[in-house]
Structure formats: structure tokens, C-alpha cells
Amino acid sequence: MLDIHCHILPGLDDGPQTMDEALAMLRIAEADGIRTIVATPHFAGRFGEPPPDLIRALVQRVNERAADEGLPVTVLAGCEAYLDLELPSKAEAGKLVTFGGERHYLLIEVPTEPIPLYALEVSFQLRVMGIQPILAHGERLAVTEAGLTFVRRFVEQGGLVQANADAIGGQVGRRMRRLCQQMVKDGLVHLIATDAHSPAYRPPILTVCLRGFPKPMRDTALGKYCSLEGIT
């Protein structure tokens, strides 16, 4: 399985603070059946803008330590980019780490209250530049009528939406689970990811989402929502 949203790099943001903590997360992920993780440290917003070289160097170090421990998990470089008006110019300047090779997937975090009027325009600009935006934890936006409308338009525009595994599984409450289930039915969820931050706080476990799926869908849900074209 693939987890496209995980704060796994040590010392960069509100994810793990040490390499040991990052490795503990990798062990949890491995036990859950996750084999590929996209490291998505926050980019912009309160954690600053980690340079791509630093992100890639940390990814390499985590992978080396994972190999030392015999953990069959590969970490790829990415980021969770906070959407603001400057995002396209930052992408143009090579400041953002996309993943999926030529597909240039970019996980974006859209502010919720209020959703900026320019959010759709910015995501459209990214697509024109050849970047495929993936909306992080879309369910958080969809809790309001305006947010749900935004998510629908974002998808109509060709954007992909990621939902958090724990929200689908019901760990954030029944209301959120029902909302996620409706989004899945309506085709507003394309990917499920953990958005893990530590071994304890929202750990990297994808299978918790299965509780949110009706039994007939459980066999296929992980294969369908925890994989992405262009990533092996």
C-alpha cells in the first residue's frame, strides 16, 4: 500500500522530532502493510519553507536507516504545500517538491475558514504548469456547504482529493465518518492517506479506514484508494 500523506521526516515540522521516532513510525507503517510513503512536510505557513535539497537529504537518511533495519518500506520526497497566491511562482522557482516523476503530484493544503476566493484559480494555474494538485484531507473542507462546493469544483477541474484514514474509519466522530462515506459515494475521494505525525498522534495506519466501508467494499478499498498511477 501507498501512503501519500505522512509527516515522517524528523525535525522539520510537527512530525517526528528525532530519527528514532521516524523509524518507530516506519515500523508501524510496515506492520500495517504500507510499503511506500510519500514524506510530506509542511511547506509554507507556520513551519517555513524547507528547501527541496534538505527534504531529499532527509528522505535519503530515513531510507538508509530503514534499510539498515531491514524494513521493506520506501520513502519518497514530497511536501504538503499551503495554498497561497504565491504557490505557482514558488513552483516555477523550483521550491516545491512534487512526486510521481513526470506526473508531478503536489499535495496542497487549502485554508478552511474562509476558503480563499483564489483557491480554484491557483489550483488551475498549477495544472496548467503540469502539476497535478491533490487536496489534503478534503473532508475538513467539506464540512461546510461552501467547502463542499469548493471540493466539487476542484474535482470537476481535474483535481484529486485525499481523505484521512482515521476520519473515514470513524475516529474523528460519526458525523465526519458519514461525511466521508458520502464523499466516497459521490466520487469526491480519490486517495486515502494517514496524515501521520508521530507513532502516537495519528500513527501511520491505513487499515483503520476499513471500518468506514461497507463489508462488500472492504476487500477492494485499500487497493483502490491507497495506490496512485505513476508510483510503484
- Applying the rule CB under 5 A, the residues between 67 and 106 that interact with Fe ion are 80
Of 135 and 232, which has the nearer Cβ to Fe ion? Answer: 135
| Cell 531510507, located at residue | 63
Nearest to 99 by CA among 79, 122, 129: 79
User: What is the rounded distance in angstroms from the CA atom of residue 71 to the CA atom of residue 103?
Assistant: 27
Nearer to Fe ion, 58 or 149 (CB): 58
Residues 189 and 221: their CA atoms lie apart, in Å, by 11
For the CB of residue 5, give the shortest distance to Fe ion in the complex, in Å: 6
C-alpha closest to that of 40 among 86, 118, 106, 88: 106
Does the footprint of Fe ion cover residue 166 (CB under 5 A)? no
Alpha-carbon distance of 86 to 81, in angstroms, equals: 11
Q: x/- string (CB under 5 A) for Fe ion, residues 35-74?
A: ----------------------------------------
Nearer to Fe ion, 4 or 131 (CB): 4
195 touches Fe ion (CB under 5 A): yes
- Residue with nearest beta carbon to Fe ion: 195
Size of site (CB under 5 A) for Fe ion: 2
Of the two residues 113 and 219, which places its CB atom closer to Fe ion in the complex? 113
The torsion angles phi and psi of 82, rounded to 5 degrees, stand at -70, 130
User: How many CB atoms sit inside 10 A of residue 114's CB?
Assistant: 10
Residue ranges in contact with Fe ion by CB under 5 A: 80, 195
